[in-house]
């Protein structure tokens, strides 16, 4: 058990980190966010704020360190068209995997054995598998990717949502994300008008218009429905199926709801961390070094 009062690596001297590991605390979280176009009423940092609110709560509850937020993810479909000025910043999949791998190898080099990557941005999950599989194959570490419970897998927080299922309350810039953004910014003292509720508008996803009336779509997944089946993956740009970048009803949102969501997800994540602590994983000394940390031409 750690006796630290702070859990962000940026706020700790290296000697405190070394003491934390020496005391047998070998688990760490790596928060990964996104900087991407959401609804017209919320800032581009929605996924980053929601990730950090969950991580910070869980860190205190489980007394587990976390690395600084990586504020960029895989978001090419949120960029809009060239010159639109959306402000979205994306990492290509191969660069994203290299960044996650490098963060992981750095922390394993330091002495950690169990790495929990945490993100609220669903598309990050598509590229992370290879990085995590490689980390485990090369070093024998335990690693996992914790996607905050939202979208189609929101059982942890479903009862906190007030909207009906057809409003897709856990999706993009809707009820849940607007609430978490409001709560995080309020509690951090940065609630300065960045959430502009006068612009908020309920909206729903639809199949891209170029597909015609034979296809429908109910949420932000990478699939469309055809003849009652949803087995077809179609590469789509977000603005092709979401006119306002909002999928859901942000008008149901509140700071109180956001705080309740953070408490629920934070407790769920903390409980997972407590289980991870019990796992018997230790990187062999021969595999902890990382020669690749130097430039390779």
Q: What is the chain's Cα-based Rg?
A: 20
The whole-angstrom separation of Cα 32 and Cα 9 is 15
20-159+258-290 carries CATH number 3.40.50.10310 = yes
- Do the beta carbons of residue 61 and residue 267 sit within 8 Å? yes
> Which residues neighbour 41 within 8 Å (Cβ) at sequence distance 6 or greater?
173, 178, 195, 196, 197, 198, 199, 200, 201, 246, 250
Q: In this predicted structure, what is the pLDDT of residue 107?
A: 98
Residue 31 has phi, psi (to 5 degrees) of -80, 135
Q: Which two tokens stand for residue 179?
A: 């609430």
What's the pLDDT at 126?
A: 81
Low-confidence ranges of the chain (pLDDT < 50): none
| Extents of the domains making up the chain | 20-159+258-290
**Tens digits of residue pLDDT in 57-76:** 999 999 999 999 999 999 99
Query: Is residue 48 within 8 Å of 33, Cβ to Cβ?
Result: yes
What pTM, to 2 d.p., does this model score? Answer: 0.95
Give the pLDDT score at 2: 62
- Over the stretch 217-226, which tens digit does the pLDDT of each residue have? 999 999 999 9
């Amino acid at each position: 058990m750690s006796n630290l009062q702070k859990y962000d690596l940026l706020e700790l001297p290296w000697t405190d980190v070394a003491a934390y590991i020496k005391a047998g605390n070998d688990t760490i979280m790596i928060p990964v966010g996104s900087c991407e176009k959401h609804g017209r009423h919320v800032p581009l940092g929605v996924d980053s704020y929601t990730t950090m609110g969950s991580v910070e709560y869980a860190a205190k509850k489980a007394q587990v360190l976390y690395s600084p937020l990586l504020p960029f993810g895989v978001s090419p479909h949120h960029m809009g068209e060239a010159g639109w000025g959306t402000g979205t910043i994306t990492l290509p999949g191969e660069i994203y995997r290299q960044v996650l791998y490098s963060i992981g190898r750095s922390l394993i080099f330091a002495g950690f054995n169990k790495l929990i990557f945490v993100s609220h941005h669903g598309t990050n999950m598509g590229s992370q598998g290879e990085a995590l599989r490689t980390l485990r194959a090369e070093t024998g570490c335990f690693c996992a990717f914790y996607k905050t419970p939202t979208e189609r897998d929101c059982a942890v927080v479903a009862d906190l949502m007030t909207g009906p299922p057809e409003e897709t309350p856990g999706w993009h810039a809707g009820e849940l994300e607007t609430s978490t953004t409001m709560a995080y910014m309020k509690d951090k003292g940065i609630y300065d008008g960045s959430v502009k509720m006068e612009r908020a508008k309920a909206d729903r996803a639809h199949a891209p218009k170029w597909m015609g009336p034979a296809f429908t779509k109910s949420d932000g997944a990478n699939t469309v429905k055809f003849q009652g089946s949803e087995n077809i993956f179609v590469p789509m740009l977000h603005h092709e199926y979401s006119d306002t970048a909002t999928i859901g009803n942000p008008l149901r949102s509140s700071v109180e709801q956001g705080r309740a969501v953070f408490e629920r997800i934070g407790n769920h994540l903390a409980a997972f961390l407590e289980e991870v602590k019990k796992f018997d994983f230790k990187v062999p000394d021969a595999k902890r070094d990382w020669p690749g940390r130097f430039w390779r031409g």
